Amino acid sequence: MSLQSKFNTFNQRIQLTRQDDAYKDAREKDDSITGVIKTKFKEKGYPVIDDFVQGSLATFTAIKEKGKDFDIDRAIIIDHDEAPTDPVEVKKVILDILENRGFRNAKIKKPCVTADYQSQNLHIDIPIYRKTSWDSYQLAVGRKDSNTENKIWSDSAPIELINWINDSSTFGEYATQKLYQFRRLVRYIKRWRNNKFSHDVSRKIYSIGLTVMIKQHFKPSIDSEGCPNDLIALKDTINSILNWSGYFTSYPDGQWKVLVSLPVSPYRDIFHGSSFNTGTRFRNQLSNLNSSLQTVSAETDESKQCSLLIGLFGDDFPEGTNNASAARKTVFATSGAVGTSQGA
């Protein structure tokens, strides 16, 4: 089997879609809560005019994680002219719904309302937007106890961001295959992050940041027949991120800061407020990843390649077959086939 087949197996093991059986309970809970929100918002005088899935499920880059919660990221849209002046008012309605539906740790955070479901591995984030007559979006920003000046409707572009990530119009020949490869690379790097960093650090290396970095520096590897080479694509993409992106700025004593801007409005730094500790660990581990991928690429023994990749991505990456052992099996199998033919 080729190394690409190992990557394909790895991808199949970690990928998650909204239609997967594993996501069934989360999908049903999401649909149920969305229905309640629509009813309550209509009662309050600001009916929901639209809703959509955000995040990695919307960009087809979600992954499964053993022992970790499934995420629901459901955007709720109300009309600009019917929205209350205070954006936290609508968030309080969501908070009450979640608290009454068996969620724990429900709280109003600055960009959304968030909670965990008590009896299932389920985490929910619900951002609320108001939509203007010219089809732009404004996000409800503010915490429950925020001062008036910190409770605002902030310009945002959630649909534009999803479309930017999903766009393949600049990929040229074999655009669809390249888009699928890009999505696989995002899944691989998310699993690498979760495998290499403690929870306290990995949660600060945001998935949207990784996705934007990979999209902006994606180096596809598709041959003339449309066949992918994910190892080469991953190696070249990580090398570009590390050495040609300008995402990392060096400081004295070997410290680094990371800055990645959203590609759409409001063009904010995704890692705004990120510490030297996060930036330094992130950059150093990326450097280690870059070196490891170079080593894997230079290695000719599949078993050794897979062993190195398991060290990067964890046990969901399949083991390889020793080349010498595989060759011996081929010789024996061929010899046996010839002997049988002659006996017949």
pLDDT beyond 80 at 339 = no
CB 271 within 8 A of CB 279: yes
Closest Cα partner for 190 from 59, 43, 323? 59
User: What digits encode the pLDDT tens for the residues 154-167?
Assistant: 999 999 999 999 99
Confidence at residue 323, expressed as pLDDT on a 0 to 100 scale:
57
The C-alpha torsion from 16 through 21 and 25 to 30, rounded to 10°, is 50
CA–CA separation, 59 and 53 (whole Å): 10
User: What digits encode the pLDDT tens for the residues 219-233?
Assistant: 999 999 999 999 999
Confidence at residue 324, expressed as pLDDT on a 0 to 100 scale:
53
The whole-number average pLDDT for the span 201-213 is 96
Both tokens of residue 124? 């929910």
How do 70-79 and 128-131 pair as beta strands?
Answer: parallel
Q: Which residue shows structure tokens 């590390």?
A: 242
CA–CA separation, 161 and 143 (whole Å): 24
| Helix 175-196, helix 3-14: angle, nearest 10 | 70
Within 10 angstroms of residue 170's Cβ, the number of other Cβ atoms is 8
CA–CA separation, 211 and 233 (whole Å): 15
CA–CA separation, 326 and 342 (whole Å): 25
The full set of domains in the chain, from first to last, is 21-156 (3.30.460.90), 167-298 (no CATH)
The SS3 of residue 250 is: strand
CB 309 within 8 A of CB 6: yes
pLDDT beyond 70 at 333 = no
Q: DSSP string spanning 254-318?
A: GEEEE--B-SSTT--BTTTT--HHHHHHHHHHHHHHHHHHHHHHH---HHHHHHHHHHHH-TTSP
Phi, psi of 62 (to 5 degrees): -75, 150
Confidence at residue 331, expressed as pLDDT on a 0 to 100 scale:
44
20 by Cβ neighbours in 10 Å (0-12 / 13-18 / 19+) ranks as middle
What sign does the CA torsion over 250, 251, 255, 260 have? negative
User: What digits encode the pLDDT tens for the residues 97-130?
Assistant: 999 887 888 999 999 999 998 777 889 999 999 9
Within 10 angstroms of residue 101's Cβ, the number of other Cβ atoms is 16
| CB burial readout 33-53, b (16+ within 10 A) else e | bbeebeebbeeeebebeebeb
The average confidence (pLDDT) of the chain is: 92
331 by Cβ neighbours in 10 Å (0-12 / 13-18 / 19+) ranks as exposed
The model's pTM: 0.91
Kindly state the helix (H) or strand (E) to which residue 153 belongs, with its residue range.
strand 152-156
How many residues does the structure list for the chain?
A: 344
User: What digits encode the pLDDT tens for the residues 258-289?
Assistant: 999 999 999 999 999 999 999 999 999 999 99
Omega into 318 within 30° of 0, i.e. cis?
A: no
CB 270 within 8 A of CB 212: yes
pLDDT band for position 337 (cuts 50, 70, 90): very low
**DSSP state at residue 77:** E
Within 10 angstroms of residue 204's Cβ, the number of other Cβ atoms is 19
Amino acid identity at 168: S
Confidence at residue 343, expressed as pLDDT on a 0 to 100 scale:
39
Confidence at residue 262, expressed as pLDDT on a 0 to 100 scale:
97
CA–CA separation, 98 and 112 (whole Å): 13
Confidence at residue 68, expressed as pLDDT on a 0 to 100 scale:
77
